[in-house]
Structure 1
Amino acid sequence: MKISYDWLRTLIPTDKPAEEIGQLLTGSGLEVEGIEELESIPGGLRGVVLGTVLTCEKHPDADKLSLTTVDVGDGQPRQIVCGAANVRAGLKVVVALDGATLYPAQGEPFKIKKSKIRGAASEGMICAEDEIGLGTSHAGIMELDTDLPNGTPAADYFGLGSDSVFEIGLTPNRADAASHYGVARELRALLRQPCQLPDLSQFKAPAEATQNIQVTIEDIEASPRYAGLLLEGVQVGPSPEWLQRRLRSIGLSPINNVVDVTNFVLHELGQPLHAFDADQITGNHIRVKRAEAGEKFTTLDGTERTLRAEDLVIADANGTPMALAGVFGGKTSGVSDATTRVFLESAYFQPAAVRKTGQVHQLKTDASFRFERGTDPNMVLIALKRAALLLQEVAGATIVAPIVDEYPTAIGHTLVRLRLPRVEKLVGQFIAPERIRQILTDLDILISEELTNEAGHTEWILSVPPHKVDVTREADIIEEILRIYGYNHVALRPHNSATYLASFPNPDPEIIRQNTARLLSGQGFSEIITNSITNSLYFEKEGETDETLVRLLNFNSADLNVLRPSLLPSGLEVVRHNVNRRQRDLKLYEFGKTYHLKPDGSYDERNKLVLYLTGNTAAETWQQKSEKSSFHQLAGAVQQVLAALGFPAPTSQPVQHPQLAGGLTLLAQNQPVAQLGAVSGVWLKKLDVSQPVWYAELDWDWLMRKYKNSLVARELPKFPEVRRDLSVVVDKTVTFDQLQQIARRTEKKLLQQVNVFDVYEGPNLGEGKKSYSVSFLLQDSTQTLTDQAIDSVMNRLIQQFEQQAGALIRK
């Protein structure tokens, strides 16, 4: 929901900055997701001022140019060359000074600079209306009639101000705030300043009329209140600039003055309105009724819809639907350019009825958004009168009949009991009764009765107005009090306990470990826990003793005589045990410690996370053949773990690990954090494992020290990404990681992703060569990429691949 700050200040006067208002609203539960600064015209006419032409002579070297001097109010007249035929001495004009950027009605923006035109110096520009974006005329420079002093900003003269627009993430329970007046009521309580409804004192309607529209409510439960007003002499046409500007500020496109007024009042007061062409209301009779099952109805968008018996419709005297109540108008009964008589509808519809109709017909409108959450039945007549006065102003309308208001049973206030001790218990802090009374009064919640219960505690019987649709219980009242009192004013005490959503500087390692375990389990890995005591023979070569082993002084078995310096042997024992029992397809992980004896006699104890992958990735089925586990699957799992811990995509280098026969070492912040590859044949033979095993070992201690516990959210890109592919022929010794690093160094702004989607080796490439098919994703967050920009990036990438990797680009 968009709320214009300038519009808001017509309802509640305040000089506080928009940022401060946004913080107050967010603190009270109306989350301001963003504040957009709007200008009436691009650039806001910065650097454009009023001036007076002091002298005007013909340019010595150009017949159609004039050489002028212009006073711009700083005591230093400017010499300006002007080509307008109407320029003359004594004229009050608009002057763009050196450095100003102009946004013309057509064409690209341009900057004003000191220059020479046909040999004469020019220190600015005298402007026509199209050159500053105020209109389309280029007949000559603007001639102003004003007593404002020279140097006055042109934006002040033309009344061009900037506006701040709040983007509020309105939750479904806050229907009371779904308008500018609703937000103003919220600020009334937060700022302790009065807010006021628009002035309706000029509204006058005749007591009687020779002809009026009769209203009959046939389903009072679905439509408790229905009001209307007949106007004649309506001149349908464009809205005035102020009205169009208000609508554009919140993202609406002006249509015509009648529709614009209904949209304006909806967003100002939160009460939806609908304008019927009164000449299309057969029999001058409106019936609010349920539809006939199966009857056809064409809505304003030209779509023919089949109605249900549950749909509430606004029908004419014959029962022919003219609108889906609270949702959408009909094509034939709406206002057109030929309309001169308008019947304005303002009603209160039961939320469930509107919601069901909207869902079934897949229609979501600004009106249904509010009706299905609950509107204020007391706003029906206020909004009707406000719209009528505006139509008198902008469309020349005349009110020709009294208001029709069918309201059989008034919707009253809700009575809610509030126990003051209960406030302290739920809030966790004492709030003075007078402060509570003040907050409730500012929220239009009145104390209708004060009681003292048997325990001697004070109780209030509160009268809650119907626009507070979500306030029906004592807990709701206390939430209202706390919203305005301020969550930040509630002190945290030592005995309080809570579950925090926010991150803290010192994360709990156990929670991180549990989250990582859940991540791996979600990928199909199973956790294992193995013995920390193992066999020293695994680590000692024949005839040599490993002095780094931590030996047990009192061991019961020669097979269990040292603390493990590596988790691999115990994990391979688990693999062997399962493979020997025909469970060959395994994905395992373990959190465990390794132990080493230092030369100084102290001990080194380290935490590791290890992963094992062996056998097939999935069982063979009729839909797909079984596929062997691969290094890339293991690497993908490791990279997901690193990403979940807050580390960006790591770099890599060939592995140097005594237990692996090839693979990669992954580096984060230039620190080796993971080693992964195929377990060497020596170790497979030692542990009597009969099939290949992929193994990864992560330095868990380092990862915990560098763990980044904050999530970084980025706005979704507004401009499309572009993909380009290259086929790069390089020596077999050149890895894809090297190519990726070259690409990242070459283009840091636009290059978002580098991916290899094919690798080819063959005799036609030449001995010792291979070809990578590489894709590049390019994207600019500020604009759509042009072919020129894309080609520039790709040419630089090709050049660097050739220079740094000796690559040949295949065409």
Structure 2
Amino acid sequence: MNISYNWLTQFIDVDQTPDELGKLLTSTGLEVDGIDTIEAVPGGLTGVVIGTVLTCERHPDADKLSLTTVDVGGETPLSIVCGAPNVAAGQRVVVATVGATLHPSSGEPFQIKRAKIRGAASEGMLCAEDEIGLGTSHDGIMVLTTDVPNGTAAARYFQLEADHRIEIGLTPNRADAASHLGVARDLRALLGKPVKWPSIDAFKVDSTEFTIQVRVEDTAACPRYMGLTLSNLHVGESPEWLKKRLLSIGLTPINNIVDVTNFVCHGLGQPMHAFDAAAITTGEVVVKTLPAGTPFTTLDGVDRKLTPTDLMICNGDAEPMCIGGVFGGKTSGVSAETTRIFLECAYFSPASIRKTAQQHGLKTDASFRYERGTDPNMPPFALRFAALLIQEVAGGQITSDVIDVYPTPIADFRVPVTYRNIDRLIGIQIDRQRMHDILYGLDIQTDELTESGFVAVVPPYRVDVTREADVVEEILRIYGLDNVPLSASLAADTLSEFPEVDVNQLQARIGTVLAATGFVEAMSLSMTRPAYHEAIRATLPLADVRLLNPLSEELSVLRQSMVFSMLDALVYNLNRRQRDLSLFEFGKVYGSSVSTGDNGTGATKYHESPRLALVMAGNTTAETWQQPGKAVAFHDMAAAVNRVLSSLRIKPTDQQPADPTLFQYGLTYTLGKKPVVTFGLLNPKLAKLADAKVPVYYADFDWALLTKRYSGKASYAEVSRFPEVRRDLSLVIDRSVSFAQIEQVARQTERKLLTGLNVFDVYEGANLGAGKKAYAVSFTLQDATQTLTDAVIDKTMQRLMAAFERELGATIRK
């Protein structure tokens, strides 16, 4: 479950940082698995500032370029060459300074570097809105009307508030915490601060001109059902604030009506559903079960056969519109043409929802919450709050009274508790008032107080607190397990082992994997030539560590990169007629930096980092009478890199082009934002510097990061009982489009059925057009719950083709 830090602060004031908050939540039993920074735009506009154009002159050698000087708050103005037609002196502009990485609205990220353009020096870039990811316009640079000081961070000027996504590993018993409000309740008990509920004071019924009747036939499966109608709505895109809230927890905005229901679900923990009122032709909503085998098409376009226990929301007595609490129907959902809706808010029996979701293999945000138990007292508030939000984002009026079918209200749990048992189970005696304050903060009232105990009155949304031991657990988790001292006489018969990763064993294991695929281990000196470092100085983050008493000037510094050590080992073997080489080495690199102490003096700090390096040259297969020799290629090194990563069960999260200073071409794999390995064809200038006269492929791993991320735990999945299906497509795309982009679009478009894709042919020719290439790609589809039908397969492929055409500009070859 994902929680937005900024969204959470709307429910409760917190002074803690996201990391501090994560530790607090973990201590209460809401274990935080990770915290990710969510930037308002990619890169957060780091290095982008507001400036003023001081001068603007035409470039003497280019009619469409201008030479400008720009004040960005530094000691001297920047000289910047600009190609925008609207640049002029006196303008307030957005300036990307040297070193900034820009993430445009379309295309790949790029870094701003010092450059010479038609002979004129340029120390930055004046930006259009599409170049910094703030829009799509590229008519010219952004011209601002502002009096903020030069040098003001653009992120601050545009109020691009960063957020943090807190991933909570929610246990099945804590259904009450499956929302921002639920997490805020725990923090209220922990911090003693009040929970801030959104206001519904403005709610009012505008008229009763469009009333839909409700009849609940199965009150056991649906104890409470509420609804109302809204009319004269305008369905469209949600406002930015609403889209940001959903995106911050990993949800994709759909339209303003559906987005409001998702916002309420994740904010208050109350799932909701909006029906297009045009689908309710009978004027009556009936909550009931239907005969076994009744056909029903869900929102995902899948035709399903209902079971006799499936609770359905029906148009009248016979026409199903929605699987109650699980999934909506295809014909009754909100669309762009919708102007009236029936807004549903209900409490469903957890057992009923769990059984239906399991039978149909449907796991939705709604079923996740309903099958664990929601709050039967929440629908009145949530329905009114959602109606107000819909009016805010889509206009319209509330055109019916609030319908509330609740024949048998669900009572609070009453749990007798004794102080004696509390003290016995916790192991210490907690102050009685502190105990009652904790329970009060958790919405658990205390009744029938005596000297020996009390009755805990537990609200029905706390489905996990029904026994005395549960109440004691609630007290203890907020009081803090760390605050209970261990007894001096504590003993145990056995102690479980929690072994740390043995780095030496892991290194030996990866060395064995590489040796088994033809690599030979190299062991080189950590000392190297200063000239090597000067050749790659721009890529080195630290200063050199010089030896006080070097053996020679050729070996007077400690290496900051493994690349030249590997090249020296390669050349040594090449000079001895060993031409087909695959080498690896586990080694360390070194650097130094100066830190300033409190007294203003500088102190040198030394840094040591373990690395794994691979190098390949020559042929991968020897020449024989059966086949010619095959030269090493980029994909041979890529295969070796992927083999190392898969052996460590590590999957990169992203890839970027490698630094051209080191590589003629290559890739950098990252974990989060940290580079884990860079590999490719070495820049021939570097190879020549070490006297290597053949193409050399090189890979450099951050071994410390790999060992940190390695858990040793194997993942597995049951072999599907249903067959997989392969479909092939031929895509004509721009030469700049990579297979990684194709894979990303495919997996974003089809998350459920797509289990694999592979490019099995690449073609480039004059008949395709300039700058074009053709990829033949295979797609493997499989459903773990049922056999795929031709209709589902065809629909999936149609969606994939449409996505490739839309996102990549691809042409599908029929």
Answer yes or no: is 1:396 the counterpart of 2:395: yes
1:688 corresponds in structure 2 to none
| CA distance 1:644–1:44, shift in 2 (3 Å) | closer
Q: Deviations over 1:708-763 (max 9, x none)?
A: xxxxxxxxxxxxxxxxxxxxxxxxxxxxxxx99955569974779xxxxx9xx99x
The answer on whether the counterparts of 1:113 and 1:124 sit within 8 Å (CA) in structure 2 is yes
1:101 corresponds in structure 2 to 101
3-state secondary structure, aligned to 2:69? strand
Question: Matched residues in 1 for 2:331 and 2:59: separation?
Answer: 63
Q: Deviations over 1:131-154 (max 9, x none)?
A: 111111110011112232222211
Letter of the aligned partner of 2:38 in structure 1? Answer: L
The answer on whether the counterparts of 1:779 and 1:785 sit within 8 Å (CA) in structure 2 is no
Structure 1 residues not aligned, in runs of 5+: 453-457, 508-641, 653-738, 753-757, 765-773, 799-811
Question: Matched residues in 1 for 2:80 and 2:582: separation?
Answer: 54
How many pairs does the alignment contain?
Answer: 566
Letter of the aligned partner of 2:83 in structure 1? Answer: G
The answer on whether the counterparts of 1:103 and 1:132 sit within 8 Å (CA) in structure 2 is yes
3-state secondary structure, aligned to 1:63? strand
Q: Deviations over 1:329-349 (max 9, x none)?
A: 111111111110011100000
Q: Deviations over 1:454-484 (max 9, x none)?
A: xxxx211111011111000000000000100
| CA distance 1:14–1:319, shift in 2 (3 Å) | same
Task: Using structure 1 for the length normalisation, give the TM-score.
Answer: 0.64
1:476 corresponds in structure 2 to 470
> 1:414 Cα deviation (Å)?
0.6
Letter of the aligned partner of 1:219 in structure 2? Answer: D
> 1:444 Cα deviation (Å)?
0.6
Question: Matched residues in 1 for 2:428 and 2:157: separation?
Answer: 53
3-state secondary structure, aligned to 1:450? coil
The answer on whether the counterparts of 2:326 and 2:364 sit within 8 Å (CA) in structure 1 is yes
1:432 corresponds in structure 2 to 431
> 1:76 Cα deviation (Å)?
3.1
3-state secondary structure, aligned to 1:377? coil
The answer on whether the counterparts of 1:313 and 1:325 sit within 8 Å (CA) in structure 2 is yes
1:460 corresponds in structure 2 to 454
Question: Matched residues in 2 for 1:6 and 1:106: separation?
Answer: 28
Further displaced range: 288-297 or 21-30: 288-297
> 1:250 Cα deviation (Å)?
1.0
Letter of the aligned partner of 1:88 in structure 2? Answer: A
3-state secondary structure, aligned to 2:378? helix
Question: Matched residues in 2 for 1:371 and 1:57: separation?
Answer: 66
> 1:123 Cα deviation (Å)?
2.5
Question: Matched residues in 2 for 1:500 and 1:420: separation?
Answer: 31
> 1:43 Cα deviation (Å)?
1.1
The answer on whether the counterparts of 2:37 and 2:165 sit within 8 Å (CA) in structure 1 is yes
| CA distance 1:646–1:143, shift in 2 (3 Å) | closer
The answer on whether the counterparts of 1:751 and 1:779 sit within 8 Å (CA) in structure 2 is no
> 1:97 Cα deviation (Å)?
1.7
Question: Matched residues in 1 for 2:321 and 2:343: separation?
Answer: 13
- Superposed, 1:756-767 pairs within 5 Å as none
Alignment match of 2:484 (pick from 490, 496, 501): 490
2:72 corresponds in structure 1 to 72
Letter of the aligned partner of 1:484 in structure 2? Answer: I
Question: Matched residues in 2 for 1:182 and 1:37: separation?
Answer: 22
2:421 corresponds in structure 1 to 422
The answer on whether the counterparts of 1:743 and 1:797 sit within 8 Å (CA) in structure 2 is no
> 1:644 Cα deviation (Å)?
13
Question: Matched residues in 2 for 1:502 and 1:66: separation?
Answer: 71
Answer yes or no: is 1:778 the counterpart of 2:643: yes
- Superposed, 1:27-106 pairs within 5 Å as 27-74=27-74, 76-106=76-106
| CA distance 1:500–1:345, shift in 2 (3 Å) | farther
- Superposed, 1:777-796 pairs within 5 Å as 778-779=643-644, 782=652, 783=654
1:335 corresponds in structure 2 to 334
| CA distance 1:328–1:287, shift in 2 (3 Å) | same
3-state secondary structure, aligned to 1:15? coil
2:250 corresponds in structure 1 to 251
| CA distance 1:498–1:469, shift in 2 (3 Å) | farther
> 1:311 Cα deviation (Å)?
1.0
Further displaced range: 482-491 or 302-311: 302-311
| CA distance 1:335–1:219, shift in 2 (3 Å) | same
The answer on whether the counterparts of 1:46 and 1:100 sit within 8 Å (CA) in structure 2 is yes
| CA distance 1:785–1:102, shift in 2 (3 Å) | closer
Question: Matched residues in 1 for 2:318 and 2:424: separation?
Answer: 56
Question: Matched residues in 1 for 2:680 and 2:459: separation?
Answer: 64
- Superposed, 1:598-747 pairs within 5 Å as 648-649=508-509, 743=584
Question: Matched residues in 2 for 1:435 and 1:498: separation?
Answer: 31
| CA distance 1:788–1:155, shift in 2 (3 Å) | closer
> 1:645 Cα deviation (Å)?
9.3
Answer yes or no: is 1:197 the counterpart of 2:197: yes
Question: Matched residues in 1 for 2:291 and 2:511: separation?
Answer: 68
2:516 corresponds in structure 1 to none
3-state secondary structure, aligned to 1:64? strand
3-state secondary structure, aligned to 1:778? helix
Further displaced range: 175-184 or 192-201: 192-201
3-state secondary structure, aligned to 1:425? helix
2:132 corresponds in structure 1 to 132
Question: Matched residues in 2 for 1:95 and 1:211: separation?
Answer: 55
| CA distance 1:419–1:745, shift in 2 (3 Å) | closer
Letter of the aligned partner of 1:231 in structure 2? Answer: L
Question: Matched residues in 2 for 1:110 and 1:313: separation?
Answer: 52
Using the aligned pairs only, state the percent identity: 54
Greater Rg, structure 1 or structure 2? 1
1:767 corresponds in structure 2 to none
Letter of the aligned partner of 2:69 in structure 1? Answer: T
Letter of the aligned partner of 1:49 in structure 2? Answer: V
> 1:438 Cα deviation (Å)?
0.8
> 1:222 Cα deviation (Å)?
0.8
> 1:295 Cα deviation (Å)?
1.2
> 1:67 Cα deviation (Å)?
2.2
| CA distance 1:748–1:643, shift in 2 (3 Å) | closer
1:152 corresponds in structure 2 to 152
Alpha-carbon RMSD: 3.8
2:3 corresponds in structure 1 to 3
Question: Matched residues in 2 for 1:315 and 1:109: separation?
Answer: 50
| CA distance 1:796–1:461, shift in 2 (3 Å) | same
> 1:114 Cα deviation (Å)?
3.0
Task: Using structure 2 for the length normalisation, give the TM-score.
Answer: 0.64
Letter of the aligned partner of 2:349 in structure 1? Answer: Q
